[in-house]
Amino acid sequence: MILAISCTLIGVNAQSEEKIEMFSYSINTTGPVWLEYNCQQTACQGMELIVNNSGLIHKNSDPHTVEWEGMVEGNISWQLLVEEDISEELIEFDSIISNEVWSEKRDLPDIVPSPSEQEDFEEIETFSQCQMNRCQSNDFEAEGVFFTGALESLNDKDAIRIVGNEGDVLLLPNFRSSSEMEIEIWMRNDEIKERIESLNSGHDTEYFFEYPEGELWLRVIASVETEYSTYEFKIVRYDANRESLDLRELTNPWTHGDALAFNDTYHGHISASDTEGDSILIELGSKMEIKPICHFSNDFMMDIIIHEINSIEIKYLENISSCPEIINSTYLTNSIEFRIKSNITQPWSIKINTDSYGDGKNIGDAPDFIWQPGTRDGRWELVDSEMGEYSGNLGIQDYIDIFAFEITHENGSKVYFNDTEGEVSFKILVLNQTSGAIINSTDQSEIIVPQGIHAIRIEKNNSSSDIVNYRFRAPEIREYQIENRELEDLSRLFTNFYIIAGVMFLTPMIIVIWWNRNTIFKGDKNNIQIEQHELIMLNRLKDRIVKKIDKEIILSSLHQLGDSPWDSVIQEWGKPTLRHMTENLEICLWKISNLDILLGIKINRHAWNLAAIRIYSSEGELVRIDTITPEKIFQEDEIYLDSLKPKSNIFLKIALKNKPTNMNFQISGMVNGEPVAASSNKTVDWEEE
């Protein structure tokens, strides 16, 4: 259809000098056309519509409304004339113009054919592919078909078949006509035909309905007596068998492969007869806070399922009738599923937003532990120098992020950080490729790393719960060349040094033996008796604590341990699993069982205020505390100790919820008004202890 528009203010001819041409149009089309101009004030004097339909001139004058309608085959042009004092803003234009492709070419049947009739009836194919994320927002306006027709009298009616299949969802967004009409929705199959619904002209709200069993017909009838009336309706069909991205019917639960991309809006349509419903699976990351945006036109029921690593499903919410404002994913989450059901045919759309997409290039929080050998998956992002800059943050209860990098050269490579930013520490961890153990590490200085996949550890510089942002580029990796040089044995040059060093190392031992000669060779009965008495008492206390007897007895035993000499406790309990000493404190940790530990803290000269200790695992699952005796305030892996008096000992029995991979601790607090923190410089493999 070609449309030429002009708007001029020139005289039409000498016979109508008092009028001006306000609008002038010319189009080429085939089918029914209706034109109407309305005056928006009391009257528009001199308003006249002149229509030229393939050489036939039609004129219509009226101060309120002028209109024309009829069948067009070829070119039609028209002019609107008004008096000079009438402005364009006072004139309202409305029209129905055939689009040539979908219009009434010949008179349609007056009624929906009976079930027995089998003819080549005219039909409309109105399939739309705008489901899921296959269309942009502006594509939705162009989908479907506009059909134009005309009723030549009150007795004339038009019926037309709509192509489709049972279960398809159809949309009738509007129905317009030059005079009052109705559009009826009919079902026809091999046995019966019946009317399903009826809508009046002027209908401009979206009406969704389901394709029936058999055939779908639309029938247009006049509501008032008229000689000729033009109508137009839009119809859209959403194929139930081509809903998903793999062009199948959406299933519930999801069976369409990988999760959909995170940052997109997904559209669908559910029919009342679809008892299983629809579902969509969208990718999601670890420990994310998301805000779902859901749109439904009617009542619905929905389940939200969190999908975790190793195909574990968690029912987050069930049978809800509105979208939650916030959803928090677990630390093992890799996707989220929305399962939808409804007894009403309607459209739906779902999108999820977040204020923080996560760490690195992936969505979600980076893990805070190192993978076990052979188990690294997409949670541990493999940084790549070609991917540019990486960024992330460490927030509340988030102290560590772990990334991975790969060395491909068989002789290893020299690795170092060249571009980092943030109040965090960056460490390169060299891993044993068989056991997964950390065999070497460095901060931002250069280190030689063997072939394989190794770890980057990013950690807060303090135990603050404030959010700390960081950024970095992938470590610089340079090839390491091994120099092939012959080695010479020069040990003969150091013989005299070995003799002198041996004498120096043995001399202190000889002095100690001389000072303790009476105890060693003659014996000191009093000291032995005191030591034996202490050991007997401490042995009883140890039995009470280890055997998990009455809580009050354990509590009393721990208090007695605190009053006992520190060195005697260590002698009875044996070598601590973890031990850390500074000028002002000493911390010892003993492993009672895989899920029970004894923690001892000795304070020397200065008191500690606002003290807290964190027991954590640098690899594997987060340490989770179950109970503490005596009772202390704790959260996850952190214990609040409050004030610790000088020259005092405190012992805690700690029960864990889970078995850690390894164990470490960090203590912080205020000493003499200054913040102080200390952590063990050794990590113990818990399974080997």
Helix (H, G, I), strand (E, B) or coil at 338: strand
Q: For the domain that residue 166 is a member of, what is the CATH number?
A: 2.60.120.510
Interval 360-389 mean pLDDT? 90
**669 and 542 fall within a common domain:** yes
| Shared-domain flag, residues 279 and 424 | no
Q: Among 241, 273, 308, give the residue marking a domain's end.
A: 241
Residue 8 pLDDT level (bands cut at 50, 70, 90) = very low
Q: What is the pLDDT of residue 390?
A: 94
Of 255-264, 357-366, 609-618, minimum mean pLDDT range: 609-618
Q: Do residues 606 and 669 make contact, with C-beta atoms less than 8 angstroms apart?
A: no
Asked whether residue 586 is assigned to any structural domain, the reply reads: yes
In terms of DSSP bridges, do strands 123-124 and 158-162 run parallel, antiparallel, or are they unpaired?
parallel
Last-in-domain residue among 479, 509, 536: 479
**pLDDT value at residue 16:** 45
- Give, in order, the Cα–Cα distances in Å from 685 to each of 594, 601, 659: 11, 21, 11
Same domain flag for 237 and 256: no
3-class state of residue 512 by DSSP: helix
**Structural domains counted in the chain:** 5
With cut-offs at 50, 70 and 90, classify the pLDDT of residue 343.
very high
Q: Does some domain include residue 367?
A: no
- The strands making up 181-188's β-sheet, listed across from edge to edge, are 123-124, 158-162, 215-222, 181-188, 193-200
The structure's pTM equals 0.67
Q: Residue 312 sits in which domain range? A: 243-354
Query: Of 469, 478, 471, whose CA–CA distance to 456 is shortest?
Result: 471
Q: Give the pLDDT band of residue 638 (cuts 50, 70, 90).
A: confident
Looking at the chain, the whole-number percentage of residues with pLDDT higher than 70 is 90
Of the residues 423, 446, 479, the one at which a domain ends: 479
Question: Is the bond preceding 253 in cis, omega lying within 30 degrees of 0?
Answer: yes
Q: Are residues 230 and 350 in the same domain?
A: no
Nearest alpha carbon to residue 333 among 362, 295, 293, 299: 362
Q: How many Cα atoms occupy the beta-carbon half-sphere of 302 within 13 Å?
A: 25
* Residue at token pair 């699993």: 577
Claim to verify: residue 673 and residue 589 sit in the same structural domain: yes
**Residue found by looking up tokens 């120099």 in the block:** 483
Residues 560 and 676 in one domain: yes
Shared-domain flag, residues 389 and 451:
yes
| Same-domain status, 139 and 169 | yes
CATH number, domain of 549, equals 2.60.40.2150
- Please check whether residue 500 lies inside any domain of the structure: no
Average pLDDT over residues 95-109: 89
pLDDT at 9 over 50: no
Mean predicted confidence (pLDDT) in 516-523: 63
> Is 502 within the bounds of a domain?
no
Residue 111 is assigned to a structural domain of this protein = no
Of 460 and 339, the structure prediction assigns the larger pLDDT to 339
Is residue 377, in this structure, part of any structural domain at all?
A: no
Higher pLDDT, 490 or 180: 180
Tally: H helices and E strands in the chain: 6, 44
In a domain, 185, yes or no: yes
Same domain flag for 237 and 262 = no
As a whole number, mean pLDDT of residues 115-138 equals: 85
Residue 380 in any domain: the answer is no
Residues 344, 437 share a domain: no
